[in-house]
Amino acid sequence: MTTIQTLFRANRSVADSKPMEAYMKNQFPFLGIRATERKKLVADFLRENGMPDDLLRLVVELFAEEERELQYAAIDLLSRYGKKQASEAIEIYEQLVTTKSWWDTVDGLAGTVVSNHFKLYPDLIPIYNEAWINGDNIWLARTAILFQLKYKEETNAELLFANCEKWLGSKEFFIQKAIGWALRQYAKVDSEAVRVFVNSHTLAPLSRREALKHIGEA
């Protein structure tokens, strides 16, 4: 059986890998496989081999690989085919967030994989949100801030504002950006609530600018 790792490595492009690595600040080696081709290779793999018996085991293996596209492939698989995992899968997702952490994989996990899982098992939210937002791992905190991005009217605004408030003093760029992004997204639902929050708290300039990007100061 051809593994997904073998399939991806057979389709590497050295020429394309260099600018991809540079874009990601040379944090990780790349195979040079762009998103469209990556998703086609995942589809080819599934068509030839069928769904793996243990999807979570496969994605953990892919996150252990060096090449960044293999982590992206893991997120592709989870986003499309892993929507109804057992509640205990959150422990795996937490592990993935803290493995080779950078904004690209963390945002894919937070905005889709973790987001979908919490919708399926809302009782998990208070348990893991509290641990993540009160911990010292910025990527888990970012996940807590961002997991409601697509919830729209179903957003728990109290939780969103509390999560942002917890990290308002952070100097971390990725936290400041997450706060602004989360508030900007919720402003599409309740712009006045976001404006009130922003004007009643001291936000980093980046967070404030992002939060008010589409609604203005007034």
Q: State pLDDT tens for residues 60-96.
A: 999 999 999 999 999 999 998 888 999 999 999 999 9
CB 44 within 8 A of CB 81: no
Task: Give the whole-number percent of the chain exceeding pLDDT 70.
Answer: 99
| End-to-end alpha carbon distance in the chain | 61
- 188-213: per-residue pLDDT in tens? 999 999 999 999 999 999 999 999 99
- 140-150: per-residue pLDDT in tens? 999 999 999 99
CA distance 194 to 188: 9
Query: What single-letter DSSP state applies at residue 109?
Result: I
CB 143 within 8 A of CB 182: no
What's the pTM value of the predicted model, to 2 decimals?
A: 0.95
Domain ranges (residues) in the chain:
122-218
Average pLDDT, the chain: 96
Residue 52 has pLDDT above 80, yes or no: yes
What's residue 82's pLDDT?
A: 87
Rounded to 10 deg, the angle between the 191-199 and 157-166 helix axes is 30
Would you state the CATH architecture of domain 122-218? Alpha Horseshoe (1.25)
- CB-neighbour burial class of residue 19 (10 A; exposed 0-12, middle 13-18, buried 19+): exposed
